[in-house]
Structure 1
Amino acid sequence: MKKPSHWADMGEWSLIWGMRFLLRVYLLLGRRVLQWFLYPVVSYYWLVNKSGRAASQAYLQRVAKLSPASDLSENLRDSYRHFISFANAIIDKLAAWSGALSLADVDYQGRDVLLAQIKTGQGAILLGSHLGNLDVCRTIADLDGAPRINVLVHTKHAEKFNQLLRQTNENSGLNLIQVTEISAATSMLLSDKIDNGELIIITADRTPVSQNSRVSRAEFLGDDAWFPQGPFILASLLKCPVYTLFCLKQQGRQVIYFEHFSDGLTFPRKNREQAMQQTIQRYAQRLEHYCLMEPLQWFNFFDFWHLADKESDEH
């Protein structure tokens, strides 16, 4: 039986040429025309991407079991809705990049807590995810006097994306940093940014690209899944406050949720693995909470639980 692919091997929509083309269509012709163009493409992707479709159905099955009120199931109709939600998120991403999404379009929950932290002069780490649309944070980065926001990404095209962002807004305070492994040099760079009062966003819901990277198992949507240790190790090295960050689209508006997660993560050598697992489990619980709020906005179209399932089969 063919082994499931790692998410990094599956390719993503975020290819530079594709996003540049879509951005031009959006700027020239607007959202409505882009929807007519994008929906057939995503529909075709849903039809031919058997593994992605199966992963979507498996995810929705878990959601339906935990939240009957969601009125979702693993049927093909809801899986298709899941993919169309992804298409709309791409358009919202382009709106954020182009400046069409303004502060008036965004609501906040928990922002005062983060603003109080920023006023101390020390930055913070924000644990994001592939739930909703992190690009909405660009509206914050473009505020006068706002802290610079650095987003750690796995894509090798980070600098090209930065160029594309600067083409749409040369004064953007959003900076993408390509990271596959956290080296000593990376830690020093990020430590300087924290000391300068900047924010660092890192997603914590995908296993690392490196095959030798460390992971911990946590219960998520009723089943065990692997989560990366890297974001949490990084936070402990930087010795800074940690918040969770979720950007959801609700009733036609973008809502950004900030939650205080820790004043500073520490993992004592004596019970390091246990402390790490407990911390990651707390994050998984918050991710689950927000997933159940807007389940069609979690965009991980691969078998998120397959590693845990495989280990279970071996014992």
Structure 2
Amino acid sequence: MKKTLHWTQMEEGGVIWGMRLLLRIYLLFGRTVLQLFLYPVVIYYWLINRQARQASQAYLNRLAAFAPSLKLSGSFLWSFRHFISFANAIIDKLAAWSGALTRADVQYHGRNEIIAQIRKGQGVVLLGSHLGNLEVCRVIADFDKTLHINVLIHNKHAQKFNRLLKQTSDSSQLNLIQITEITAATSMLLQDKIEGGELVIIAADRSLPGSRQHVAKVNFLGGEALMPQGPFILAGLLKCPVYTVFCLKQQGKHVIYFDHFSDMLNFPRKTREQAMQQIIQRYAERLQTYCLKEPLQWFNFFDFWRVSHDDE
């Protein structure tokens, strides 16, 4: 049987060059012209990338069974719509990077709680995901220059993306931090950020390569999936308030939802595994709730559920 690639192995080597080109087109000609360039690329990708297309269809079939009221299916048409939604998310990402978004483009739920914590000098961990468009969260800082946002990412392009962001906005308060594993140095760096009253965003829905011993099996959209323990362990070590964050495109607006998750995550030694399981399952249930709001904005084009069976 052909072995399924881990999601981190699916990146294209030219991703930075490609994003720089798309950003330049966006800045020079705007969204409409960019769509003329981007849509053919996404259509081509949908046609030739069988694994991503099948993962999309499997996800949509799962949704159709789990939530029939959504009235979607795993057909080619719905999968194509899924990829076009991804294309639009890329354009929105570029708009966020370029500073083109205005206050009128963004709505918030729960933002005042986050601001209140920061005003007290208290940093906050935000548990994000690959649902929606986390990059739009940079506008939180763009609208208030006293805020600093740090985003942990799991790929080698962090420094290059940082430089790209600085080229488009010298005053950007968004900092991307590359991690391949959680170490003492990672914890110390982020502790400094938290003590400085900054925000730390961690995507909590994907496991790192070779980290199977540090994952939890959770029930998500009616099936068993793996989610990493690392983000939750790290949030516990930072000893600070924890919120979830989801940014969805709804009726032409970017709607950012901040929801309280815990005053402080704690995993007692005697009941560590049980407590960890309960916390991660609770996160999975919250992610599921938001996924059902905008199902075509789930951008995990790999077999998210099969991962839990790869070693069987």
What is the TM-score with the length of structure 2 in the denominator?
A: 0.97
Cα contact 2:145–2:173 (8 A) shared by 1: no
* Equivalent pairs, count: 312
Cα contact 2:180–2:208 (8 A) shared by 1: yes
Structure 2 match to 1:178: 178
Distance in 1 of aligned mates of 2:71 and 2:210: 38
Residue 13 of structure 1, CA deviation: 8.9
Residue 310 of structure 1, CA deviation: 4.4
Distance in 1 of aligned mates of 2:85 and 2:29: 21
**Residue correspondence of structure 1 range 205-244 to structure 2 within 5 A:** 205-211=205-211, 214-244=214-244
Cα contact 1:180–1:210 (8 A) shared by 2: no
Structure 2 match to 1:17: 17
Give the counterpart letter for 1:176 in structure 2. L
Give the counterpart letter for 1:265 in structure 2. L
Structure 2 match to 1:6: 6
> 2:105 aligned with 1:105, yes or no?
yes
Cα contact 1:154–1:209 (8 A) shared by 2: no
Local SS of the residue matching 2:29: helix
Give the counterpart letter for 2:118 in structure 1. I
Local SS of the residue matching 2:37: helix
Distance in 1 of aligned mates of 2:146 and 2:210: 34
Distance in 1 of aligned mates of 2:279 and 2:144: 35
What is the TM-score with the length of structure 1 in the denominator?
A: 0.96
Structure 2 match to 1:149: 149
Structure 1 match to 2:28: 28
**Residue correspondence of structure 1 range 1-315 to structure 2 within 5 A:** 1-11=1-11, 15-211=15-211, 214-310=214-310, 314=312
Distance in 2 of aligned mates of 1:107 and 1:289: 19
Q: List alignment gaps of at least 5 residues for structure 1.
A: none
Residue 309 of structure 1, CA deviation: 3.7
Cα contact 1:153–1:178 (8 A) shared by 2: yes
Q: Which moved more, 1:139-148 or 1:228-237?
A: 139-148
Residue 144 of structure 1, CA deviation: 3.3
Cα contact 1:248–1:256 (8 A) shared by 2: yes
Residue 213 of structure 1, CA deviation: 5.6
RMSD (Å), alpha carbons = 1.4
Residue 12 of structure 1, CA deviation: 5.2
Local SS of the residue matching 1:202: strand
Instruction: Return closer, same or farther for 1:167/1:62 CA change in 2, 3 Å cut-off.
Output: same
Local SS of the residue matching 1:226: strand
Give the counterpart letter for 2:109 in structure 1. Q
Cα contact 1:72–1:78 (8 A) shared by 2: yes
Local SS of the residue matching 1:224: strand
